[in-house]
Amino acid sequence: MKTLNKELSVGDMAVQFQAMDETGKTHSLKNYRGKTVILYFYPKDQTSGCTKEACDFRDFSSQFSKKGAVVLGVSPDSAKSHQNFKDKYSLSFPLLVDEDKTLCKAYGVWKEKSMYGRKYMGIERSTFVIGPDGRIEEVFRKVKVPGHVQELLGKMGTVPN
């Protein structure tokens, strides 16, 4: 598989960004200094895997909060699509708009994929745990949705209920 940018690894400084959420509010990584940021990239609003993943993050949001962590979802969908997705599933965290895929490329998750022999560019479902100092603490690539959020909490020292 081809990557457009260098893949980020544990110990690397996270790529700084500014991105708008579904309400038009701008989020910047520097604004979260001192907190752990769970930055997760997903392919598309309202699809089965992405809905399950978002609902898992929602259902365990209090445990992330107890760890001083904030969750930010990112996909190339529009603000309107994100708002509909967030409203429909009562998501409790911001969904960042990345229509031009700048953030996806910066984090190395915009990749060549293949399905039924057809090659295309798309999001590799990935999660980055960014520590309070701005360094990447954990990287999960090619995420399989079932159990991912629970595994993430386990690595953060929280046992999911």
What digits encode the pLDDT tens for the residues 11-47? Answer: 899 999 999 999 999 999 999 999 999 999 999 999 9
Distance CA 72, CA 68 (A): 13
> Catalytic residue at 104?
no
pTM of the model: 0.90
Ordered structural domains, the chain, with CATH = 18-155 (3.40.30.10)
The pLDDT score that the predictor gives to residue 2 is 37
Q: Which residue out of 8, 38, 50, 123 is catalytically annotated? A: 50
135 - beta bridge partners? 13
The pLDDT score that the predictor gives to residue 115 is 77
Q: How much is the mean pLDDT over the chain?
A: 90
Could you identify the residue written with the tokens 């309400």?
23
Q: Is the pLDDT of residue 71 over 90?
A: yes
Instruction: Give phi and psi for 106, each to the nearest 5.
Output: -60, -35
Could you identify the residue written with the tokens 């100092």?
133
